[in-house]
Structure 1
Amino acid sequence: MPRSFKLRTRKRSRMSDDNEEDGEDSSKHVKQWGNKVFFYADVTTETVHALYEAVNEANKIATTCTPAEVHLHLNSQGGDAYAGFAAYHILKKNPLPITTYVDGLVCSAATFLLMVGKKRIASKHAFVLIHQVSTGFFGKYNDMIDEMQNTHDLMEACRNLYTDHTAMSSERLEELLKSERAVNAKTCLEDGIVHFIED
């Protein structure tokens, strides 16, 4: 049976104790104001659903704006890889262009949402973390072999996504994937992870 694949980092510093492990509904950290959507949550099935609803509402407002576009602000430590890919594909089909913003830290599966942006903008003091899939599994020998293949296929999907949307060479991408180092806005610009930096 498929397991949930996490593209999560080790526990990172937080300014408060608002995390999903405490039983809090993190979908409340997905907000829409006008044609702006703020995704300040972990990437889960629930938060992706909340994101979809927020973007739909933002689309209605955005049609009255010039230019007609949605602004998606991100600050997320990542989460479930499959939920991240679901969000990516939903947002890629959005009828209006989406500009994505790195407001603080965008990690792991949340970087899939960043890649959707027709324009991608990092704040001056923003950071992005791209790394390998992590998973846990137990079961029969054959199940573990299957799980290893699933993990391999998922890693390939991640590589393809970053290759399609950034300016990184395969060597540079592997360097980032193998580390747990968040890169700053200037490095993101150099690697083509974002297109612009704003104050």
Structure 2
Amino acid sequence: MKRKFGFKNQSHNEKLSSIPHNFSSTHDEEKGISELTIYGDIGESWFWDSTSAVDVDNALKQAGTNDVVVRLNSPGGSAFDGIAIYNRLKNHPGKVTIHVDGWACSAASVIAMAGDEVIMGTGSMMMIHEASNIVWGTKNDMRQVADMLEELEEGIIDVYMTKAKVSREEIRDKVNAETWFSASKALEIGFATSTSSSVEDNEESEELTQMRAQMKVMQNKLDKIANQTQEPVPTSPTQLSVEDNGIGSFNLLKKWR
């Protein structure tokens, strides 16, 4: 059963609904790294497979104090599970690195904010929007739900503001408008710390810097060896008397080896 999303921009609906669920965790005690994969919907669901806050909590308990790498590709889901996962990751004692492999929409964008590093993959996207709910009841019931959603949104904006480089009002406007961010736009606004391409460029730059430094050291060693093995060139002055058309004589210095 494919999920139908209530996003204003429906152009990505088919792609988002086709993201297969995959939650897994691996723990490398020797390297001190745990990796969590969170693909698909966030929150408990009766209708389709999903990843809940309980799943992530159990995985982090197994991780202990390991650094954590999260691979994220999700259309979102339950805001409350997303917030719980965010807080659980945020309070983890090890470093948390989040790779947005494909999508980090809605509740998944909240999870992404927990990363000490947030790396947007090539072609990946992030989306923030208004909180929503299905309401059945009287006008008062609907007003109460609307009030609750406004308070929920304020909490979500609090999360976004931990990374945003713009004002709270600007973030609120982007939430109300349902805003989609490319990798470069997420980096620009502060939601990401780097993109895959920038990480590769940095790694290449570091490799070139190290190579130049190694070549410089090698050249210095070669110069030193050349100076040490070069034979000294002594000079000994020898006076030669040379007749210059009877005008006089002068001395020449003859070099010898």
Shorter-chain TM-score: what band? 0.7 to 0.9
Measured after TM superposition, the shift of residue 164 of structure 1 is 2.1
Amino acid at match of 2:71: H
SS at match of 2:87: helix
Aligned residue in 2 for 1:184: 182
Cα distance, 1:8–1:154 mapped onto 2, change above 3 Å = farther
SS at match of 1:79: coil
Q: TM-score normalized by structure 1?
A: 0.79
Aligned residue in 1 for 2:59: 54
SS at match of 2:55: helix
Q: d(CA) in 1 for partners of 2:19 and 2:185?
A: 29
SS at match of 2:13: coil
Cα distance, 1:169–1:99 mapped onto 2, change above 3 Å = same
Aligned residue in 2 for 1:36: 35
Amino acid at match of 2:154: E
Structure 2 unaligned blocks of 5 or more:
28-33, 45-49, 198-257
Contact 1:8 1:107 in 2 (8 A): no
Q: TM-score normalized by structure 2?
A: 0.62
Contact 1:8 1:77 in 2 (8 A): no
Measured after TM superposition, the shift of residue 75 of structure 1 is 0.3
- Structure 1 stretch 140-149 or stretch 118-127: which is displaced more? 140-149
1:3-27 per-residue CA deviation (whole Å, 9 max, x = no partner) reads xxxx9635722388566xxxxxx4x
What are the residue-to-residue correspondences of 1:1-199 with 2, within 5 Å?
A: 9=7, 12-14=13-15, 17=18, 26=21, 29-34=22-27, 35-45=34-44, 47-48=51-52, 49-57=54-62, 59-60=63-64, 68-199=66-197
Cα distance, 1:144–1:181 mapped onto 2, change above 3 Å = closer
RMSD across aligned positions (CA): 2.3
Contact 1:8 1:79 in 2 (8 A): no
SS at match of 2:81: helix
Structure 1 unaligned blocks of 5 or more:
1-6, 20-25
% identical equivalent positions: 26
Measured after TM superposition, the shift of residue 38 of structure 1 is 0.8
Measured after TM superposition, the shift of residue 33 of structure 1 is 2.8
- Structure 1 stretch 102-111 or stretch 30-39: which is displaced more? 30-39
